[in-house]
Amino acid sequence: MKEYKLYIDGKWVSSQSKKTFLSLNPANEKPIGKFQAGNSDDVEQAVEAAEKAFEQWSETPAPKRGEILFKVAALLRKNKERLARLMTMEMGKVIKEARGDVQEAIDIAEYMAGEGRRLFGFTTPSELKDKVCMTIRRPMGVVALITPWNFPIAIPAWKIMPALICGNTIVFKPSSDTPLCAIEFIKILEQAVPKGVINLVTGSAEDVGIPLIKHRKIKAISFTGSRDSGRFVIENAGIKKVGLELGGKNPIIVMDDADLDLAVDGVIWGGYGTTGQRCTAASRVIVHKKIKSKFQELLVQRIRKLKVGDGLKKETDVGPLINQKAVEKTHSYIEVGQKEGARLAIGGQKIKGKGYFYEPTLFTDVICDMRIAQEEIFGPVVSLLEAEDLDEAIKIANSVSYGLSSSIYTSSIRNAWIAVQKIDAGLTYVNSSTIGSEAHLPFGGVKETGNGTREAGILGIDEFSEFKTVYFDYSGKLQKATID
């Protein structure tokens, strides 16, 4: 079995721990390789390498850094199919979705490459004569990027590309469920980015993640993961910039004037795409009481047709969960939902045999204060709730502690705009599912979904740069702002 290495200061090296761990194919539970179980000593070396590379990289003109990112985008495009197949083998998502994951990385690389000729500050008038006021952007230094397994190339790219274009250097810790995707991504970056600028340390949260979070030379952390893990990051990072992208419990509202076939399409994609393992998954569907029975019937018919299996097979609609722990968590929520009084309309069972497969599941007769309607399950489980009208639907949508994505299906512009204004979420889709973010628009949420940062788009630059305010006084005398 092949053993993979860490990437530190432009070299592939073994961990100082002398330990390894396995990554398994979730469709058949077969190991795909051995990976380094990094430790705090490896983190220290990676931080030192990044710190050493920072001066030269940050002084490289931003348009030149942009040229490097354009090269990365071209390399990703050339390797798109290979990376997608690898992703399906390691993470489990169906091959079409895996291609989309790589495409997101291509898109964000191209977008951030273009930022190399922008990175805008602003100018503004001074209150005094013969004085100019302006702002410029500055890189922060060494940044730590900690990413999850569900988008093992797209999410790292969402962080790596803006961090690089802003002039930062990087220590990257991927999920231990998808280390090979991270390694193959780094091999592509290695062909374009100078040594030391980006460093990869695989390993556990305890042995790699915590030393990164607490490291005094790390100037910023960007973390995507669970709410509880995000709380740990913010409590232990110390005085440094922290960006958090955490969970979601995302609603789709289906009004009585909606195109029901279109809404069913949106629920199937939002609820069961990526086997429900997205922070933007549509885990709650809030349906107007007038059409609930009909909508439920249509939805169950569609769920029944979904084919569960290996994501490399063309006929597969829903792949496996990431690991056995995810299967057990999903099934525990099925038991919770039934005890709370919700009714299983379809699904609710583990699929026997090799692989971490679970039936696409729909609960009906769900009430908004039930745990299955409040807590993030991260599996192929959707809860159907009923609302009297739009006001009640929005109240139910806002009843959770998360606020990432949301959706409404309606033919009324008024309904749509009221939902856009009143739903507490970072994203709202009209007549589309809760999934579909584009690289040139900000991504992120409110409430316990994060701490206010946004990824992608121009706001992605804000996460990885600092503003410096600059004053030029050419009056030739001492002027005192707010006093003279």
* Cα 441 off chain centre by: 14
Whether 477 is in a domain gets the answer no
- Please tell me whether residues 40 and 62 are part of one structural domain: yes
- Please tell me whether residues 331 and 465 are part of one structural domain: no
> How many domains does one find in the chain?
2
Catalytic residue among 166, 181, 279, 368: 279
Q: What integer pLDDT is reported at residue 77 of this predicted model?
A: 98
Q: What integer pLDDT is reported at residue 320 of this predicted model?
A: 98
Whether 475 is in a domain gets the answer no
Whether 479 is in a domain gets the answer no
- Please tell me whether residues 179 and 120 are part of one structural domain: yes
- Please tell me whether residues 190 and 56 are part of one structural domain: yes
Nearest-angstrom CA–CA distance, 381 and 93: 16
Tens digits of residue pLDDT in 359-387? 999 999 999 999 999 999 999 999 999 99
The token duo for 480 is 């005192």
Burial of 391 (0-12, 13-18, 19+ CB in 10 A): exposed
| Three-state DSSP class for residue 298 | helix
* Cα 97 off chain centre by: 14
Q: What range does the domain containing 392 cover?
A: 251-430
The token duo for 80 is 């798109």
- Please tell me whether residues 218 and 312 are part of one structural domain: no
Q: What is the DSSP letter of 301?
A: H
Given a contact cutoff of 8 angstroms between Cβ atoms, the answer to whether 197 and 50 are in contact is yes
- Please tell me whether residues 112 and 222 are part of one structural domain: yes
- Please tell me whether residues 199 and 272 are part of one structural domain: no
Which DSSP string corresponds to 435-472? ----TTS-B--SGGGBSS--BSTTHHHHHT-EEEEEEE
- Please tell me whether residues 179 and 193 are part of one structural domain: yes
Spans of the chain, pLDDT less than 50: none
Catalytic residue among 97, 110, 115, 245: 245
Q: Under the phi-then-psi rule, with left for phi > 0, alpha for psi from -120 to 50, and beta for the rest, what region is 196?
A: left
Backbone φ and ψ for 427, nearest 5 degrees, come out as: -135, 140
Q: What integer pLDDT is reported at residue 134 of this predicted model?
A: 98
Give, rounded to a whole angstrom, the gap between the first and last alpha carbons of the chain: 74
Q: What integer pLDDT is reported at residue 483 of this predicted model?
A: 79
Tens digits of residue pLDDT in 76-131? 999 999 999 999 999 999 999 999 999 999 999 999 999 999 999 999 999 999 99
430, 459, 479: which is the final residue of a domain?
Answer: 430
Tens digits of residue pLDDT in 245-281? 999 999 999 999 999 999 999 999 999 999 999 999 9
Whether 156 is in a domain gets the answer yes
- CATH number, domain at 298? 3.40.309.10
- Please tell me whether residues 205 and 339 are part of one structural domain: no
- Please tell me whether residues 264 and 312 are part of one structural domain: yes
Q: What integer pLDDT is reported at residue 484 of this predicted model?
A: 56
279 is catalytic: yes
- Please tell me whether residues 286 and 137 are part of one structural domain: no
> In 3D, which of 181, 245, 200, 228 has the Cα closest to residue 26?
181
- CATH number, domain at 223? 3.40.605.10
- Please tell me whether residues 127 and 148 are part of one structural domain: yes
Strand (E) positions, 139-293?
A: 142-146, 169-173, 198-200, 220-224, 241-245, 251-254, 284-288
Burial of 338 (0-12, 13-18, 19+ CB in 10 A): middle
Whether 484 is in a domain gets the answer no
Separation in Å, CA 139 to CA 165, 261, 440: 9, 48, 21
pTM of the model as a whole: 0.96
